[in-house]
Amino acid sequence: MTTQSITLKSFALAAEEGRTQQPLKRRCTLHTKNVMYRSVLAITACTALFFSIRKISYGQQNDEAQIRALEHYFADAFKAKDVDGIMANYEHSQNLVFFDVVPRREYLGWDAYKRDWEGLFASLDGPITLFEIKELTVNVDGNLAYSYSFQHYLAKTKGDQSRNVTVRVTDVYRKSGGKWLIVQEHVSVPVDPQTGKADRQFKP
């Protein structure tokens, strides 16, 4: 075999090897790009999820703080015997539902419930001696929330009798227009099943 034949054969082998390696290189390049693309997508998704969870967590904390502030305003209005201040915490509509610890069976609508508060304060003489909300627990889920607590007050009636009452209160809230309002409320006391008597001075 001549030197020229060997040289031509070498060039042919080199060319063939180059043609073989080029698709391999392209595949490697495409694979690397795919891996990088998927990595970027994964990082982007994780980042979005992180900030989404953080936003939800912050939103829930902020909502709970607003509801606790509402209950604080309610307590201040109760101590001041301020009916309008109390009713500002409730949805002003006929959809408001309230179950009181005393008859009647139920109060439907904002106006009916306001009259109930007016009747309560009309029966009391002088200032509210004490009003406190204990063990307030708040749970938020989207635009709805609920709370439960024990509420205790001391006052004197028009007949100069002392009124010392503790009740259990469950409230349901709805967020509308960025504001939380009570849409349903249930007030109760434990009842002795043997005597049928209510315990209005139970200790939480």
The two three-digit tokens of residue 142, written as one number: 């989207």
pTM for this predicted structure: 0.69
Convert the pLDDT of each residue in 161-193 to its tens digit: 899 999 999 999 999 999 999 999 999 998 888
CATH number of 61-188: 3.10.450.50
* Contacts for 126 with CB less than 8 Å, ≥ 6 apart: 155, 156
Chain centre to alpha carbon of residue 47: 24
Is the distance from CB of 11 to CB of 3 less than 8 angstroms?
no
Convert the pLDDT of each residue in 106-129 to its tens digit: 999 999 999 999 999 999 999 999
CB burial of residue 121 (10 Å; 0-12, 13-18, 19+): middle
Give residue limits of the domains in the chain. 61-188
